[in-house]
Amino acid sequence: MVAFDKCDTRPAHIDAILNGLDRYNPETTTVFQDYVAQQCEDRTFDCYANLALLKLYQFNPHLLQPETVTNILAKALTVFPSPAFSLCLALLPAHTQPFPSAANAEAQPASDFVESIQKLTSLSTLLESAQYAQFWSTFNSDDLYADLVADVAGFEELVRIRIAVEVGKTFREISAEVLEQWLDIRNRETLEKFVADVCSWEVQKSGAAITVKVPTNKENEARSEVKSERVGMEMFGRVIRRGFEQPV
């Protein structure tokens, strides 16, 4: 897994800020916000820089931009199962958390910003628990979800690719019907094109049944593992010796 402080696409001026004292300067907030917008457009993701911005918001609550925060969380969804979403969520105000304390819930009435975070968190939970069909069902159930990810170019495609990666780690073969639900691709021709062009998987047809074959990789390969332990006599000697030792 790539370290959070590494990003091949990070601009030089952002890298300079992150490696200097200016990362704590509130005036760099606008620079980081522009960088978040750039990530949304370029389909890139820089977790370390985004966390730095959220930390600035934490120190300077008056500078917080709700739209930028939701964009960061939406981008974090596209790199699951990375812990990026949880790390970003942990830096947000207490009243925005999915399970706020009773005191915070009473002190801070629900707002559009809080509702947005709650909805994105529910999507993250579904992805992390591999409930992919439920994820798409929830995502398509409310236009607010589409609004929350509107700034993230290729959001649905990026999530589909991540789901496909996880499927490839687990399965050697899977029915096209199940894969349609997990990827939210209802057109069979579109599914076959995605499977072949994006995933490099094979589609096999046997009558009405269509099966997708996933090439063997180090994650989905069935391997027998034999574990053995060697216990020498000297180990038993230490145990017996301890039994005769007088307590201090």
> What structural domains and CATH numbers belong to the chain?
1-153 (1.25.40.250), 173-221 (no CATH)
Give the mean pLDDT of 109-122.
87
Q: What is the pLDDT of residues 123-174, one digit of tens each?
A: 999 999 999 999 999 999 999 999 999 999 999 999 999 999 999 998 888 9
In angstroms, the Cα distances linking 237 to 241, 243, 246, 248 are 6, 10, 16, 21
* pLDDT at site 241: 75
Mean pLDDT taken over the chain: 87
Q: How far apart are the C-alpha atoms of 151 and 58, rounded to whole Å?
A: 23
Q: What is d(CA 44, CA 38) in angstroms, rounded to the nearest whole number? A: 8
Q: Is the pLDDT of residue 199 over 60?
A: yes
Residue 187 DSSP SS3: coil
> 209-213 and 173-175: which strand pairing?
antiparallel
**For the whole model, what pTM was predicted?**
0.83
Q: Output 104 or 157, whichever has higher pLDDT.
A: 157
Residue 71: CB atoms within 10 A of its CB come to 22
98 vs 44, more confident: 44
The mean-pLDDT minimum among 49-58, 77-86, 101-110 falls in 101-110
Query: Is residue 109 predicted with pLDDT exceeding 60?
Result: no
Percentage of the chain beyond pLDDT 70 is 87
